[in-house]
Structure 1
Amino acid sequence: MNTFKAVHTEYLRPSRTIETVLVSNEKLSQVFFVYNYEGNSFRVFKNHLDLILFFQDKAEADYEFGTELELDGFLGEVNLSH
C-alpha cells in the first residue's frame, strides 16, 4: 500500500485547485498532479507537461475520478514506476 501527501496546493479559484501529491511506498516514490474541480471532478496527471496541455485543450488527464474517496483509493494502490 502507498502513502501519499499533498506537498503543494495552488489555488486557481477558491473551489479549483492543483495539488502536487507525493505518492510513496517502501521502495519507490512518484509525484502526481491533481486538478480538483469544485470537489466534483478530480483529474490526475503523471507529469506537469500533461497538466499544462490539458489547460490548453491539447491533452486529457491520465485518470479521472468523481469523488475524493475514489481518488484516495487510486493513490493508495497505484503502481509506482520510475
Structure 2
Amino acid sequence: MEKYSKMNQFEVFHTEYLRPSRTIETVLVKNEYSSEVFFVYNYEGISFRVFKTHLGLINFFLDKLDSDFHFSSKNELDDFLSEVKLAA
C-alpha cells in the first residue's frame, strides 16, 4: 500500500490594508495533524514575504530584517503554503 501525503489547506482569515496594493495577510495553514499561522506581506502582487512570527514581521518593518521566505508570484506562494512542513 502506497502512503501519500496530503497537501496542506490554507485560508486567509485576516487582511490588513497598508495601502490598496500592499497588505498583510494572516494565513492559517493546516493538515490533519497540525496547524500553523503565517504572516504574508504582499507588496503590490509582485513580492510576497512570509513570516513565521508576528515579531518577525514587525522587525522586518522596523529594522529591515529579512523575511523567513520570499516569493515573486502568487503561484509560488500558494505552492509553498500547500507543501510547507508544519511544526508538530
The TM-score with structure 2 as length reference comes to: 0.91
The reply on whether 1:57 has 2:63 as its aligned counterpart is yes
Distance 1:44 1:17 in 2: 12
Partner of residue 46, structure 2: 40
* One-letter identity of the residue aligned with 1:50: G
Distance 1:2 1:48 in 2: 21
The reply on whether 1:3 has 2:47 as its aligned counterpart is no
Percent identity between matched residues is 67
Give the CA deviation at 1:57.
2.1
User: Unaligned stretches of 5+ in structure 2?
Assistant: 1-6
Partner of residue 87, structure 2: 81
Partner of residue 31, structure 2: 25
Secondary structure of the structure 2 residue equivalent to 1:56: helix
Give the CA deviation at 1:59.
1.8
Secondary structure of the structure 2 residue equivalent to 1:52: helix
The TM-score with structure 1 as length reference comes to: 0.97
Rg larger in structure: 2
Distance 1:25 1:58 in 2: 32
User: Unaligned stretches of 5+ in structure 1?
Assistant: none
Aligned structure 1 segments of 4 or more residues deviating by more than 3 angstroms: none
